[in-house]
Amino acid sequence: MTKLPNTPANCFNVDVSSVDPYYSQYNVTCIPVISTKTTLELGCTAKVPKSYADQISGVTAALDLSATYDISTEKCNGLRSFVNGKLLTRNSMFLPISLQGCAIPANTDDFCYKTGDFRGNQNLDLTMNQIIWVLFHNWCCDRMVEINPHWNDEKIFQECRKFNIASNQYIAYNEVFSTIVGYKAMYDRNLLYPYSSLDGRSKYDPHCELNALNEFSNGAFRVLHAIIVACLKMANENRKGMGHLRLTEHMTNPSVLERNDTFQYLLLGAFTQRPNKVGPSFDPVVTRNLRFNISPFVFGTDLHTNDIQRGRNHGIGSYTAIRTKCGFKNAETFEDLEDLISKENIEILKSLYESVHDIDYAAAAVLENVIPPAQVGPTVICIILEELERLQKCDRYWWDNDQNHFTQLQMATIRSISLASVICTVGNVEYMQIHATKPVDPIT
């Protein structure tokens, strides 16, 4: 296997064919991929047989806004102002500055933000998401101070954290995941339900361990890398185009957000611009030269190749194994895939794999027929729904689980929140479409 200069020891690179139409022009012979740390390397083998390695996740498996509050009390304290329950901000609009994990060109005033997750500065959309949830927490604190002037900082912080996480969970299921897999699929799986009852639901199972499925985080959910657009459009309140930014020019360097009205324009642009469709064609920037400014490598990466290799790294099942597990018929030949993948896309797989059983999940999952209103194919829906069910069932703190501590009125308030209302509240934006995840047409 080829080694690039500076390749870390824990790398398992992907060799690039010498006739690759793109990389061969630049003499790139391999795409670097760094192996995930496992329990074996860290010596955490107490609970498992010595020979068994499991990948270690640096974040929590719960949908608990750990990207906003970080994963430990100590780290979270570093993000708090300790005044009126608020998280630290600058001018009540942006996050505190940190240069950690940041790639700032020499002799500039550029900067990164201090966030609850080291990836918070990775790309501008993600950074805007970080900012929004910090500001929404602080908006809650202002309301709490008005309503409960006798509450101290700690009480306000904890109550607003709980409210913020609940709002985020509600929006994630009601608007984001339902857009990805379709509202009916969520409803049929009892992940969403009509509001005839204001009560919580007794879904919590104390015997269920809260873990992210490897097939979810290293397979199905990465299928959405296909929707990335490398040209980030900006728009004003009337959704008139205000120029664009290039994704790769601002990775690990979000300072541009504070220049002029970039934050608002980019936010409105994100809710105006249509994402790519899941399918065999990725934005070329994502599969040719996705540059991370902090990467030790001279050349950028191919995210889809990276995802396929990550699936192998984590030992997730082959495409045929996963489709069977999801209840689709056993596939013994390429033709057996025709129930979920078009003939045209099966030809692509045939040209790459000798046997149908060799097909990597990530490679085939993006080629499945998308069934509207879902944005992804059938096995991807299957894995996402399984993960969503576990996220609710295994989380003692899930917002509408009847173990939780919201009153009926508080739950009704949370159900009245939408992504649009959050954006309007903290994004310095006056007009948003009611269904934020359904882009409106831009005025050109």
Q: Which amino acid is at 418?
A: S
3-state secondary structure of 278: coil
3-state secondary structure of 36: coil
Q: How far is CA 270 from CA 108, 143, 234, in A?
A: 27, 28, 7
Burial of 244 (0-12, 13-18, 19+ CB in 10 A): middle
Q: What is the pattern of x (binds ligand HEM, CB under 6 A) and - over residues 236-265?
A: -----------x------------------
Are the CB atoms for 339 and 329 separated by under 8 Å?
yes
Binding-site member from 123, 138, 178, 264 for ligand HEM (CB under 6 A): 123
Q: Which amino acid is at 272?
A: T
End-to-end Cα, the chain, rounded Å: 49
Query: Which residue, 119 or 162, is less far from ligand HEM as judged by CB?
Result: 119
Asked, as a colleague might, if the bond just before 254 is cis with ω within 30 of 0, I would say: no
Query: Which residue, 181 or 340, is less far from ligand HEM as judged by CB?
Result: 181
Query: Which residue, 60 or 410, is less far from ligand HEM as judged by CB?
Result: 60
Maximum Cα–Cα distance for the chain, whole Å?
A: 70
Q: Which of the residues 6 through 35 are near ligand HEM (CB under 6 A)?
A: none
Q: Single out the segment in contact with ligand HEM by CB under 6 A; choices: 14-22, 165-173, 224-232, 421-429.
A: 224-232
Query: Which residue, 162 or 312, is less far from ligand HEM as judged by CB?
Result: 312
Binding-site member from 178, 253, 306, 418 for ligand HEM (CB under 6 A): 306
Are the CB atoms for 419 and 170 separated by under 8 Å?
no
The reply to whether 225 sits in an annotated binding site is yes
Q: Is 177 in the site for ligand HEM (CB under 6 A)?
A: no
Are the CB atoms for 42 and 313 separated by under 8 Å?
no
Nearest to 75 by CA among 92, 63, 58, 93: 58
Q: Single out the segment in contact with ligand HEM by CB under 6 A; choices: 216-224, 260-268, 333-341, 349-357.
A: 216-224
Q: Single out the segment in contact with ligand HEM by CB under 6 A; choices: 64-72, 163-171, 218-226, 322-330.
A: 218-226
Count CB neighbours of 408 within 10 A. 11
Cβ at position 138, least distance to ligand HEM in Å? 26
Q: Single out the segment in contact with ligand HEM by CB under 6 A; choices: 46-54, 67-75, 221-229, 390-398.
A: 221-229
The binding site for ligand HEM (CB under 6 A) comprises 123, 125, 217-218, 221-222, 224-225, 228, 247, 303, 306, 310
Q: Which residues are annotated as a binding site for heme b?
A: 225
Q: Which residues are annotated as a binding site?
A: 225
